[in-house]
A = this chain, B = another copy of it.
Amino acid sequence: MPLPRRWVTSCMFRYNGAQLLIDCGEGTQIALREKGWSFKPVGVIALTHFHADHIAGLPGFLLTMGNADRTEPLVVIGPKGTPRIMQAVRTLAPELPFDIECLEIEGDEQTFSLYGMDITAFRVRHNITCYAYKIEISRAGRFDAERAKAAGIPLKYWNPLQKGQTIEENGMTYTPDMVLGPPRKGLKVVYATDTRPTDDIAQHAANADLFICEGMYGEPDSDKKAREHRHMTMQEAARLAQMAQPRQMWLTHYSPSMMRPELFMDSVRNIFPQSLAAKDGQETTLLFEEE
């Protein structure tokens, strides 16, 4: 349930001119406007599950995307049943100038490679079918001019090879691995809400740059409530982070009954120090490591 200054769920990823939105609770389009970001580059919307606090913002969001003159198709990834949900959304927002392509997640885990991002949906444990998402951006190895020279590769191919293209000329084939060192560390973000803690979440979040996790309850002895409602306490999230060792963890998706999540952060940081009680509009920029 939204509260004043604490609305419902949504998380935007922006990479290389494209945007991926995970979930779209009511008010998401308003939050996006407050950021001053554009609607037009949103190429993918990924849905974790079909509870209204995660999807009720879709009709307004899509309509505003349409008003921003987006005409390229939109990809919507979600659990089985996504086309039925999007049909209902389109009944409320019928006039859109772009097509919607629904990708229903098959099985417990599936990876979609879109706009330079590897988007892995993996099943989590809620009271309805729900997925968490792992977003990975890989980074090629450093260009090795000495090797390129030694292999006798013409200078004009260095740049396309560096960009990952394969070149064939006069019976010769030049491949990127001939000029690039080993892949460098990329970026990884994991987003998991509406679930009990699972080992799988920790494994996916291993060494992530950012692990965003639900922390529905914070009070001592709220484990029982969390188990009953198939949610997670802030401390359970911290224990996942302790296993996964991401660079940082953000907590989100607080119960409306928990007015001040920051009150419980001492107990969270005792378990995993690099923890933050995220607020609406929380934002960070993740950069490739210099190398």
Contacts and interface: CB of A to CB of B under 8 A. Distances in A.
Contacts of A221: none
B91 A85 contact: yes
Contacts of A29: 2, 26
Nearest to A90: B88
Contacts of A87: 88, 91
Contact of A7 (B2, B8, B30, B85): B30
Interface residues of A, number: 33
A170 B33 CA distance: 71
Nearest to A68: B1
A55 interface: yes
Nearest to A25: B60
Nearest to A35: B4
Interface in A90-108: 91-93
A156 interface: no
A59 interface: yes
A87 B84 CA distance: 12
Nearest to A63: B52
Contacts of A93: 52, 56
Interface string A1-25: 1111001100000000000000001
A56 B63 contact: yes
B33 A4 contact: yes
A223 interface: no
A84 B92 CA distance: 10
A218 interface: no
A288 to B, nearest CB: 33
A91 B88 CA distance: 6
A6 to B, nearest CB: 10
Contacts of A4: 30, 33-34
A242 interface: no
B30 A64 contact: no
Nearest to A2: B30
Given A52-B60, A56-B59, A63-B56, A3 B33 contact: yes
Given A7-B30, A52-B59, 18 more contacts: A4-B33, A25-B60, A26-B26, A26-B27, A26-B29, A27-B27, A52-B60, A52-B92, A55-B59, A56-B56, A56-B60, A56-B63, A56-B92, A56-B93, A84-B91, A87-B88, A88-B91, A88-B92
